[in-house]
Amino acid sequence: MNRRIRMIALFAAIAVVAAVLSYGCNAMIAGRADKANAGLISIEKRCAAIGRETDSAKAELDQRQWQDQLAKASGSWLSVVNSAVNCLPDDVWVTRVETSPKDSTLLIEGRAATYDSLSAFIGGLHRNPAFSDIRLGSVRIVRIGNLTCLDFSVPIKLSSSAAASGPAPAAQANAQVARRPGA
Amino acid sequence: MKYVKLYSPGNVERARYVQIAVAAVAIAVCVFVMVSTVLGVQRVQRTESALDKAVFQCRTLSRAAEKLQEQAASQAFLSRGGVESFALQLSRWSRDSGVDVESLSPEGAPAAMDIKVGETKLGIWNAHKVRINGRGNFVQVMSVLNRLRNPHMPVQLDSVLVQAVDSGISGIVSFNVICTVYEKKIESS
């Protein structure tokens, strides 16, 4: 009987010790888990702040990229005008240059001393890959004092590669621009 | 009065049941301790592993953000655009090149546009069509127009008309240029 009572006391003591240990372990684990959770929340907040900073920097860089695209589109037309003007022989001069982005054309009006120089000018334009369709629109003989000159107009259609980098298509292709309803 | 013996067979039998019950409780408590400890340790390990992962991601993000910010800071001041700043810029360019800008006039009402580059929304921008008239030496006029290749603001050349004012003899030309000038729309709260 005494042995049984001792065993009961031993089991009860084991249960109490186990309960105390459990409480202690759980408290320690909970403390560690709380610390880790707090760290996690703080890191998540920091990550969110970094994400916002990254988004802001990325938006700035993307705006610059967009501005560069706009500038590139402007530059492509200026390059077209420059390359047409660079084809001018010495005795041909331009009186009017007009770009038309809608139909990707360039109109050049000018004055040439001779048919040969006019022909050389048009030949030079033909050799330029930026221009696809070049034709002599009109030629008129004019007299200035003792000089006889030719007034001419040359409409030029841009080649598809040059037209693709022109202002109108570039604005649509490079930046997705959507007109707001009701704007 | 009836005396019951402590070591009676009935009490011995009861003590056996109590011993079994206490042993069962002790085993249950021990199992609970072990299971809850193991579960708790696993939970802590998961949280700490998530923390380590988050710290690593945070460091990676931080490095990427630093790089992006350095890249953005290394470039020139980012303009919000607008006709006024463009007019100011153009007057500087024309003064430097000796070109007369006779007029700069917005045409029609500005159109509000949602600008998006790739996945990034740049917000709402007003697009103003602006007509610029002026005159000057052809080379100088082209040098002013060539500034639009790198204007440091959101502006796009739409069309160019350059015309000789005196049959092209003097090299003086008049120009008529249409540009689209963008201006960041500030949302009123």
Contact A100 B159 (CB under 8 A): yes
Read off the pLDDT band of B103 (50, 70, 90).
Answer: very high
Is residue A168 predicted with pLDDT exceeding 60?
Answer: no
Count of beta carbons in the 10 Å neighbourhood of residue A152: 22
Long-range contacts of B85-92 (CB under 8 A, 24+ apart): B85/B153, B86/B130, B86/B151, B86/B153, B86/B155, B86/B179, B86/B181, B89/B151, B89/B152, B89/B153, B90/B132, B90/B144
DSSP state of A113: S
Burial of A70 (0-12, 13-18, 19+ CB in 10 A): buried
Domain layout of chain A by residue ranges: 1-49, 68-174
The model's pTM is: 0.70
What pLDDT is stored for residue B75 in this prediction? Answer: 74
Residues in A touching B160 (Cβ below 8 Å) = 77-78, 81, 97-99
A132/A126 Cα distance (integer angstroms): 8
A15 inside 8 A of chain B by CB: yes
Counting DSSP H helices and E strands in chain B, the numbers are 3, 4
Alpha carbon distance B170, B167 (integer Å): 8
CB contact under 8 A, B148 and A78: yes
Chain A, nearest residue to B59 by Cα: A47
pLDDT higher than 80, residue A181: no
Thinking of the domain A68-174, which architecture would CATH place it in? 2-Layer Sandwich (3.30)
pLDDT of residue B141: 92
Contact (CB<8Å) B163/A95: yes
Q: Is A54 on the interface with B (CB under 8 A)?
A: yes
**Distance (Å, rounded) from C-alpha A52 to C-alpha A6?**
68
Whether B18 sits inside 8 A of A8 (CB atoms) is yes
CB within 8 Å: A78 and B157: yes
Q: Which two tokens stand for residue A171?
A: 């604005």
The nearest CA of chain B is from the CA of A165 a distance in Å of 12
Band of residue A165 on the pLDDT scale cut at 50, 70, 90? low
Pick the more confident residue, A15 or A161: A15
Question: ipTM, 2 decimals?
Answer: 0.72
What confidence tens digit (pLDDT) does each residue in B105-138 have?
999 888 988 888 877 788 889 999 999 999 999 8
Structure confidence at residue B15 as a pLDDT band (50, 70, 90): confident
pLDDT reported for residue B168: 59
More confident position, B188 or A158: A158
Run of H or E including B152: none
* Chain B closest-CA separation from residue A147 CA (Å): 13
Please, which pLDDT band fits residue B140 given cuts at 50, 70 and 90? very high
| Beta carbons within 10 angstroms of residue A104's beta carbon | 22
Residue B188 at interface with chain A, using a CB cutoff of 8 Å? no
Q: What is the pLDDT of residue B64?
A: 87
Report whether pLDDT(A26) > 50. yes
Q: Is the pLDDT of residue B174 over 80?
A: yes
Give the torsion sign (CA, B134, B142, A105, A124): positive
**pLDDT at position B4 over 50:** yes
A34-62 b/e (C-beta count within 10 Å ≥ 16 → b): eebbebbeebeeebeebeebbeebbbbbb
Q: Is B29 on the interface with A (CB under 8 A)?
A: yes
Nearest to A175 by CA among A100, A63, A75, A74: A63
Dihedral sign for Cα atoms in the order B16, B22, B25, B27: negative
How far apart (Å, rounded) are the C-alpha atoms in residues A51 and B74? 20
CB B96 within 8 A of CB B147: no
